[in-house]
Amino acid sequence: MLDTLLRILALIRKELLAILKDPKSRISLIAPPVLQCLIFGYAATYDLNDVPYALLDHDRSAVSRALIARLDGSGTFTRVATLDVERQIADIINDQRALLVITIPYDFERGLQAGTAPAVQVIADGRNSNTAGTAQAYVSQIVTGYAADWQNSHGQPGAPVRMTTRAWYNPTLETRWYMVPALIGTITMMMTMMLTAMSVAREREEGTFDQLLVTPFRPSEIMVGKAVPAMMIGLTQSTLILLVAQLWFQIPFSGSFAMLYLGLFLFLAASVGIGLFISSIAGNMQQAMIGSFVLLMPFMLLSGLTAPIGNMPEILQYFTLINPLRYAISITHQIYLEGAGIRQLLPEMLALVAIAAVTLPFAAWMFRNRLT
Amino acid sequence: MTPAAPVSPVTARTLHKTFRRATGETVKALDDVSFEAREGTLTALVGPDGAGKTTLLRLIAGLMKPDEGMLDVLGITVADDPQAVQDRIGYMPQKFGLYEDLSVQENLDLYADLHGVGADQRKQIYPRLFEMTQLGRFRERLAGKLSGGMKQKLGLACTLVRAPELLLLDEPTVGVDPLSRRELWAIVLKLVHEDGLTVIVSTSYLDEAELCDHAVVMHAGKVLAQGTPSEITAKAEGRTFIIETPKGMPARSLQARLFQQDGVIDAVPEAGQVRVVLAAASEADALPLGDGTLQHHRAPARFEDGFMVLFAAVAERTRTSTMTLDQPSSQGSGAMAVEVQDLVRTFGDFTAVDHVSFQVRSGEIYGLLGPNGAGKSTTFRMLCGLLPASHGTLRVAGADLRTSRAEARRRLGYVAQKFSLYGQLSVDENLDFFASAYGLRGRRKADRIAWAKQQFELDAFSRLPSGQLPGGFKQRLAMGTALLHEPDILFLDEATSGADPIARREFWGRITALSEQGVTVIVTTHFMEEAEYCDRIIILDAGRSLAEGTPAEIRAHAAAQDGRQPTMEDAFIAIVETSRDGRAQQRPAG
């Protein structure tokens, strides 16, 4: 038992030395996660801040001007052009100068006064469907809000139902609150999977794996010795991203750190398992590289971060069950934003345990039994 | 017609070239090198690894510029117009760029395309290339599936496809079996003698240099001597003797003893006896050889002897290449260290090892010999538990290492063909890791690491990343690592390939010392003369065992040639040829 432990410690030490000895590789493990987190924190946001729009005001009344003032004053919309005729609309959209063109009809004021609900037209550039959709919804919110206010102040009966929304856990519905915690899993998965996928493949390619296999190391010991350093590096990277989220983006953390690190530990075990799984099958580094890219891309896209898993075709929903990132993102969101406890997280944590429990032993078995 | 003064295709005057290593030190790759290669002759650049042979060839090919000196190739100053030179010469580097996924024919076509060889020329040259290289039958075979020797022939054919005026070959026969080596040299000699091509070839096989017109002996960037092979050989004239081995003593033990004597420049086992080269001709009788009963007689000098005389003058050599284990191996002699019964290994429909059986007794040095692709390495990997056998049984130290518990592996040491320690880790870090891997700890671990560093003279390199060690020291570190835990059985796969003659003698000195202390040693090698160091050898070809026995028994397979004893290489070629003929005859009948 002591022998086993000492052997594993020697292997862990050797792995860490090999990874961290070179200053360049030390930096490449620390700088990219922090940079990526900063970049994605700013870039990957669905919030609209500066939507360029063009205006075609046929009505030119006091009421239409008041509506325009409300649009311009929203802080979200920037008027880039004021059009005179309808045929200008096509050009300004095609050149991508404006994302939206808002047309106020001739009878806007009269319509309001008559209570006939005049139609404000919004033309959006559908080439960017996400942004266009959000912007349209925002415009309609402003316009209906304006109309309701106008009706109120003019003694007309308002709409019979009025909706009030309150977003829990992210009161201002900032995408960043959603995105940055998800990066903890996403970025570290990329790094740890690549690191482990390369590790055995590199040793096979350089012949050092044979040298390792003729020593008294058992496959399970090699597996542990390879997994632990990668997980240590993964946890360090997670911590860095967590620090960026809290110190730089100041996203409030509502859960327990112990719970978060338990989740991260299980998640890293699962993704290191998949990395070693790839590495144990690959004959050389190139195959390992391709193998991890082939898996990483679907893992990212089908993690539920960019598209809700519930919207996916059923067969893909089953695939997401073996995707550790799916659980990691869900677990971090629940802990970070909701402060969820173990009872709520148990099923997802068990799923991660299951992934690690299959991939790690398989990789260990393949170390010795891969036919070469 | 008056013949003009012969213009030499290559004239080099006082060439210098220095490199800077990653560690900051500068290395003189070429130091005041001058030589001339005459039209239609074969020039050999001879010397150990790191002598500067490859650098010189690359300068001639215009791939690098000299720091100093003058270099004219085909009447052109290379540094001024390398492209003009490259258009007219053929250069085959050590690792020729064959495309392994293309067939033989496709590779040839590719090189013809690259060099702009037209369809008419191809019609002329292809049949000749195929006839010369005997590759005609394998046109459709993928280059990756060719044997090492055939790959080199194909590389040569690709180099010759545009009919160069000067041919540069960089170690064309490294790792090629003796049979293919002879065939390759037959091609080169034919090109020189029949076509009048000028060829410069670099080699570390000293017997090959004997075939050339002009030999340039190099060491550490300097030219030690140059001249015809017989001029080099003459340096050892009158100083070479064959000393008969007393009964009951392995030739290698006598050789090890002689090699350490002052006044002995070189000693190698040869045909069961020991060939020595003495520092001075008169010393033969004065040699303090034990009780003075050793019989000796003069022998004609060989190129290698002359080379060693030149070498001894400049190269330092450790005479104490013996080594002592802390605890001599405890296994009783006579017990079986390795037993292999009816071993088969197939890959798909290819049989790499075909019903091979042999046994190795404790304390023996056992050699696996054979051409590339004979199944040596596959057998080796199965013995070490790195590959499962398809059929048959094997036991190493009483256990099948593949299925045995990890503890059984503690009894063996393994040195791979390629340097396979962690290149980015320092010497100390590698030793420390492998010591821990073998379960050494505390005081004993420190002692063993100190032992390895002292025995293999690694102290100066403690903190150097092992990947940056000079070639010979990588080998030493690999051996030191494999011996840290004092294994009973040591496996050495092609341990001496690429090592210079001095390093190889030191290596075998160590092996002999280990064996004398009871360690069983199993080696593969393609240097046939190294079989002389073994107690018993097995010869493999195409996965089958062709012969097994003591070196003397194996040598008996070949007839004596021109009055001299057959060498191991003669025997090897005789055995392989007989076997291949036999199979060729069986085929039509079966």
What confidence score (pLDDT) does residue A243 get? Answer: 93
Contact residues, chain A, for B466 at CB < 8 Å: none
CB contact under 8 A, A17 and B425: yes
Q: Count chain A–chain B contacts defined by CB atoms under 8 A.
A: 76
B420 band by pLDDT with thresholds 50, 70 and 90: confident
Strand, coil or helix: what is A212?
A: helix
Contact residues, chain B, for A17 at CB < 8 Å: 425, 429
β-strand pairing of B89-92 with B76-77: unpaired
Task: List the single best residue of A17, A208, A211 to mutate versus B (max B Cβ within 10 A).
Answer: A211
Q: Looking at the predicted structure, is the pLDDT value of residue A360 above 70?
A: yes
What confidence score (pLDDT) does residue B49 get? Answer: 74
Tokens representing B159?
Answer: 């180099």
CB-nearest to B416 from A3, A13, A207 is: A207
Task: List the single best residue of A214, A217, A221, A367 to mutate versus B (max B Cβ within 10 A).
Answer: A214
What is the crossing angle of helices A175-206 and A324-333, to 10°?
A: 140
For residue B4, how many other CB atoms are within 10 A of its CB? 6
B19 band by pLDDT with thresholds 50, 70 and 90: confident
**CATH 3.40.1710.10, chain A: domain bounds:** 51-153
Q: Looking at the predicted structure, is the pLDDT value of residue B1 above 50?
A: no
A59 band by pLDDT with thresholds 50, 70 and 90: confident
Angle at Cα B164 formed by Cα B163 and Cα B165, nearest 5°? 125
In whole angstroms, give the CA distance from residue B338 to residue B380.
Answer: 11
Contacts of A286 (CB under 8 A, 6+ apart): none
Give the residue, B65 or B51, on which the prediction is more confident.
B65
What confidence score (pLDDT) does residue A163 get? Answer: 65
What confidence score (pLDDT) does residue A160 get? Answer: 57
| Contacts by B508-511, CB closer than 8 A, 24 or more apart | B508/B252, B508/B256, B508/B533, B509/B256, B509/B259, B509/B321, B509/B322, B510/B321, B510/B322, B510/B323, B510/B479, B511/B365
Element holding B524 (H helix, E strand): strand B520-525
Q: Looking at the predicted structure, is the pLDDT value of residue A240 above 80?
A: yes
Tens digits of per-residue pLDDT, B448-474? 999 999 888 888 888 888 888 876 788
Q: Which fold has domain B10-226?
A: Rossmann fold (3.40.50)
Give the residue, B149 or A296, on which the prediction is more confident.
A296
Residues B203-225, mean pLDDT to the nearest whole number: 89
What confidence score (pLDDT) does residue B430 get? Answer: 94
CA B343 to mean position of chain CA atoms: 27
Residues B1-6, mean pLDDT to the nearest whole number: 48
Residues B568-573, mean pLDDT to the nearest whole number: 83
Residues B238-259, mean pLDDT to the nearest whole number: 82
Element holding B354 (H helix, E strand): strand B350-361
Task: Looking at the structure, give the CATH architecture of the domain made up of residues B235-314.
Answer: 2-Layer Sandwich (3.30)
Mean pLDDT of chain A: 87
Burial A223-256 (b: 16+ CB within 10 A, else e): bbbbbbbbbbbbbebbbbbbebbeeebebeeebe
β-strand pairing of B336-347 with B391-396: antiparallel
Contacts of B487 (CB under 8 A, 6+ apart): B410, B411, B412, B413, B519
What confidence score (pLDDT) does residue A361 get? Answer: 92
β-strand pairing of B365-369 with B76-77: unpaired
Q: Looking at the predicted structure, is the pLDDT value of residue B226 above 90?
A: yes
Query: B58: which strand partners?
Result: none
**CATH 3.40.50.300, chain B: domain bounds:** 10-226
**CATH 3.30.70, chain B: domain bounds:** 235-314
In whole angstroms, give the CA distance from residue A250 to residue B536.
Answer: 75
Range ranked top by mean pLDDT from B152-161, B382-391, B509-518: B152-161
Mean pLDDT of chain B: 84
Q: Answer for the pair A176, A249: CB distance below 8 angstroms, yes or no.
A: yes
Query: B270: which strand partners?
Result: B273
Angle at Cα A308 formed by Cα A305 and Cα A314, nearest 5°? 125
Contact residues, chain B, for A6 at CB < 8 Å: 436, 439, 441
Burial B441-459 (b: 16+ CB within 10 A, else e): eeeebeebbebbbebbebe
Tens digits of per-residue pLDDT, B293-332? 677 888 888 898 999 888 888 766 655 555 666 665 555 5
Contact residues, chain B, for A214 at CB < 8 Å: 384-386, 401, 409, 412, 414, 491
Specify the amino acid at residue A191.
M
CB contact under 8 A, A214 and B434: no
β-strand pairing of B89-92 with B544-549: unpaired
Give the residue, A252 or A161, on which the prediction is more confident.
A252
* A51-153: in CATH 3.40.50.720: no
Range ranked top by mean pLDDT from B89-93, B237-241, B459-463: B89-93
CB contact under 8 A, B384 and A214: yes
What confidence score (pLDDT) does residue A100 get? Answer: 87
In whole angstroms, give the CA distance from residue B428 to residue B466.
Answer: 9
Q: Looking at the predicted structure, is the pLDDT value of residue B47 above 80?
A: yes
Give me Rg for the CA atoms of chain B.
25
What confidence score (pLDDT) does residue B283 get? Answer: 56
B175 band by pLDDT with thresholds 50, 70 and 90: low
Element holding B91 (H helix, E strand): strand B89-92
Sheet of B296-298, strand order: B264-270, B273-278, B240-243, B296-298
CB-nearest to B425 from A3, A18, A214 is: A18
CB contact under 8 A, B433 and A210: no
The minimum CA-CA distance between A283 and chain B, rounded to whole Å, is: 14
Angle at Cα B96 formed by Cα B224 and Cα B146, nearest 5°? 120
What confidence score (pLDDT) does residue B590 get? Answer: 35
Strand, coil or helix: what is B264?
A: strand
